[in-house]
Structure 1
Amino acid sequence: MDVTELIAARVRELRAAHGLSLDALAELSGVSRSNISLIERGESSPTAVVLDKLATAFGVTLASLFEESAAAQDEPSPVSRARAQAVWTDPGSRYVRRHLSPAIRSPIQLVEVRFPPGKRVAYDTGAREVEINQQVWVIEGAMEITLGDERWRLEAGDCLAMRVDRPTVFRNPTRKPARYLVALTTLPFMPTRRNG
C-alpha cells in the first residue's frame, strides 16, 4: 500500500474509532477541516508537524499513523520484512522515516529516521491521555534534541530517553546526514502523586 493511502486509512480509522466528526477533530487537533479531509482522501502529503497534531488528538504515537488498519489485517504477522515497511518523507524537512515494527500489536514501536543536514522539525507536543516514552539512539551523524527547556546534542552511539509530553525539536546541526532509531512505548496515563 502506498504510504499516503496508508496514512489516509489510519486517520479515517482512528477518527471513526474516537467518534469524531471532521469539525471535532479539527478543533481538537488544530488542523483545518479541509486539510484533514484531503489527508483522509489521500490527496495531501501532510508534514510531520501536522501528523503529530493528529496523533496527539487521537492520543497515539506518530508512528501509529503508519500502521496498517486493523480491518485490513487477517492475522497480523510477527515479522516486518524490509521491502514491506512503510517509508515516508516529510515534505517540510525532507527527513525520511521507516516504520520498522511488525503489524502484530506490541507495546513497542520502532522507527528508523534519516535526517538531512541543517534541517529542523518542531513538534508542539503536549500532554496526552496516554503516556508515551521514547528512546532516540543515534547510529550515524549527530542530532540536537530539545524537550521543553532542556537540550541535548547526541553523537553516534548516544541514546536519549524522554517522555513525549512537551514541545520537542529535532535538529541536525551538522553538514552531514544523521540516522537514528526511535523506540516508543505507550502506557495508560498515570497522574503523578503528590504527598501532603
Structure 2
Amino acid sequence: MLDDAEKKLLADAGHRIRETRAAQGLSLEQLARLTGISAPALSLIETGKRDPRLTTLKRIADALRAPLAAFIADGSGTAEPSAPTPSGGYDLGEYQ
C-alpha cells in the first residue's frame, strides 16, 4: 500500500508527463505509439494511479525528448523544468 508521500510523487510525475505531452501537441494514442505502452496504461500513469517502472518512465522520457529527471524530480531544489519544444516534429508513420 502506498503512503501519502508516494501517492503525491506518482501524481506529480504523472502531471509532469501529461503537461509535457500536451505542450508538444501529442495525444495519448500518439505517445502510446511512440513508446509501445498502451494508451490506457499511459492514462493511469498520468493520473498517478499506476506506479511505473523506471524503464517505463525512461521510454516515456525518450519519446517526449525530455530528461528522465524532469518527471521524477521532487521539487525540493530547483524550479520545475519546462517542457522542451521538439525541433523536428514527430514521424508517427512507422508506428501506425
| TM-score, normalized by the shorter chain, greater than 0.5 | yes
- For 2:20, the aligned partner's letter is L
Instruction: Map residues 64-143 of structure 1 onto 2, 5 A cutoff.
Output: 64-67=70-73, 86=74, 101-103=77-79
TM-score by length of 1: 0.36
1:29 positional shift: 1.3
The structure richer in strand per residue is 1
TM-score by length of 2: 0.70
Q: Distance in 2 between matches of 1:11 and 1:104?
A: 12
1:23 and 2:29 correspond = yes
Change in Cα spacing, 1:104 to 1:9, as seen in structure 2 (3 Å) is closer
Q: Distance in 1 between matches of 2:10 and 2:56?
A: 14
Q: Distance in 2 between matches of 1:47 and 1:100?
A: 22
1:50 and 2:56 correspond = yes
Gapped regions of structure 2 (runs ≥ 5)? 88-96
Aligned to 1:11: 17
Aligned to 1:37: 43
The structure richer in helix per residue is 2
What is the CA RMSD across the aligned residues, in angstroms? 2.3
Between the aligned residues of both structures, percent identity stands at 35
Q: Distance in 2 between matches of 1:54 and 1:103?
A: 21
1:34 positional shift: 1.3
